Structure 1
Amino acid sequence: MYSEDDMLMLSGIQHFRFCPRQWALIHMEQQWEENRLTTEGNILHKHVDDPFYRQKCKENICLRSVNVASRKLGLYGVTDVVELHPTLEENNSILHPGYPGRWILYPIEYKHGRPKKNQIDEVQLAAQAMCLEEIYGVPVMKGALYYEQTKRRVEVCFTEQLRDIVQDCALQMHNTYLSARIPQASYQQFCDKCSLINICMPLKPKDMSASYYLKKSLYEEAT
């Protein structure tokens, strides 16, 4: 169990899964830069993250910006959406003071673009589900990712394999944070899409120019 002072931001698990160095630059050094992708993502969430908005879609109740946390994972954050699905089963369901009956928890995360590789989005959603399980004491077996570019939901099953990835990422995040060491830069194909590329400056295999080393030296002197 992690103490309250040891908790890390849940949203960072997506950054860590994408690139541990990116996560460290954002969450340890407080570095950030916007690019087109981050700006479009911010616009999307501006319309999603309204904690006072409650929507009933058919039989489901849509709760936005639900605060979650897990002492086991040492993570805290806010979900985009938690849908309440009605059920007649008493097991694996919750009561809600605002709505009669019993409900199954179904987290939903809104994403810009399309589904990604390496289960980056799925890991973040699964971490939210594990937080909900710890808070409410009921299993959360499924959720969904909504992609703005495709206008579709992709349902995610929270398998043991996915939960293991969440636990491993959370542990590595805490270990990296405690070490106070930023992981070294290593150029990958996805680096060009990262908003922090000008801060991180990973060395491309074929980029050995003098201008690169000059830029790198100036940055190191400034920091």
Structure 2
Amino acid sequence: MPYSEDDLLPLSALQHLLFCPRQCALIHIEQAWQENLFTAQGRLMHERVDQTGRESRKDVKIEYGMPLRCLRLGLIGKADVVEFHKMDSEGGWRPFPVEYKRGKQKKENWDKVQLCAQALCLEEMLGRAVPAGALFYGKNRRRQDVLFSDELRRESEDAALQLHELIAAGRTPAPVYTKRCDSCSFYELCLPRLLEKKRKVESYLDQAYELDSQKFCFYVLKYCLPKHMDKIQ
């Protein structure tokens, strides 16, 4: 069942979710935002390419800042660039989304999932297959072609569903510290090390209390109850 217009969530939130569910909740549930050098550089890069416009280069038409929407996945957003490649054999133009990123290529699929979700939006909007796209990384100024395989499409669909479930629950997940927390703009707001230690202490106290309760019950059953039964007899 497709989502309504009121239920559409930002397409960019998929990358936030896959990077860190807590970061995603801080941004999209608690409406918090923290900027550091990395996010500022990324924002400036997107501002340069997100301005709506178009141009043509031989057999390629280019749309900048193209609005996107997918009711099936409940997503809305904007593509940095969509190239339309002329198809000689079939006629018409094939969409080819290009997403700009500040850093460099990642081992994880976060960026690919976001790009694939853009392709799914384009397929629903235009009724035309979008088999591939590209990621452009500003740090090394390299363009990585991405094939939208069935596996990547399922991963993007699953991420969209998880995003809607997270937002609908309205709860911010507890912090879990990893190395990537150190470069996160939300580090000072999130306090992953401090809150994780607090949670571990609380867990230790709960376990200690449960253990003491078990010891008390064992003591009662072994020593107190038999003596009490002897008096009754």
TM-score normalised per structure 1: 0.84
Match of 1:149 in 2: 139
Aligned-pair CA distance for 1:64: 0.4
Aligned-pair CA distance for 1:45: 1.2
TM superposition outliers: structure 1 runs of 4+ over 6 Å = none
Distance 1:78 1:201 in 2: 31
Identity %: 44
Could you tell me which runs of 5 or more consecutive residues in structure 1 were left unpaired when the two chains were aligned. 91-100, 210-223
Q: Secondary structure at the match of 1:182?
A: coil
Distance 2:45 2:10 in 1: 20
- Contact kept? 1:145, 1:156, Cα under 8 Å: yes
2:1 is aligned with 1:11:
no
Distance 1:71 1:23 in 2: 21
Distance 2:197 2:126 in 1: 54
RMSD between superposed Cα atoms in Å: 1.7
Aligned-pair CA distance for 1:5: 1.1
Which residue identity lines up with residue 57 of structure 1 in the other structure? R
Distance 1:57 1:151 in 2: 21
2:70 is aligned with 1:70:
yes
Which residue identity lines up with residue 93 of structure 2 in the other structure? W
Which residue identity lines up with residue 126 of structure 2 in the other structure? Y
Aligned CA distance change for structure 1 residues 5 and 208 (closer, same or farther; 3 Å): closer
Higher share in helix: 2
Which residue identity lines up with residue 41 of structure 1 in the other structure? G
**How many equivalent pairs are there?**
197
Q: Which residues of 2 match residues 1-223 of structure 1 at below 5 A?
A: 1-52=2-53, 54-90=54-90, 102-203=92-193
Aligned CA distance change for structure 1 residues 126 and 200 (closer, same or farther; 3 Å): same
- Contact kept? 1:50, 1:64, Cα under 8 Å: yes
Could you tell me which runs of 5 or more consecutive residues in structure 2 were left unpaired when the two chains were aligned. 199-233
- Contact kept? 1:82, 1:107, Cα under 8 Å: yes
Which residue identity lines up with residue 47 of structure 1 in the other structure? R
Distance 2:147 2:197 in 1: 44
Q: Secondary structure at the match of 2:92?
A: strand
Structure ID, larger Rg: 2
Deviation string, structure 1 residues 62-99 (Cα, Å, up to 9, x no partner): 10011111111100000000001011244xxxxxxxxx
Distance 2:101 2:183 in 1: 16
- Contact kept? 1:67, 1:77, Cα under 8 Å: yes
Distance 1:87 1:24 in 2: 42
Distance 1:66 1:193 in 2: 30
Q: Secondary structure at the match of 2:52?
A: coil
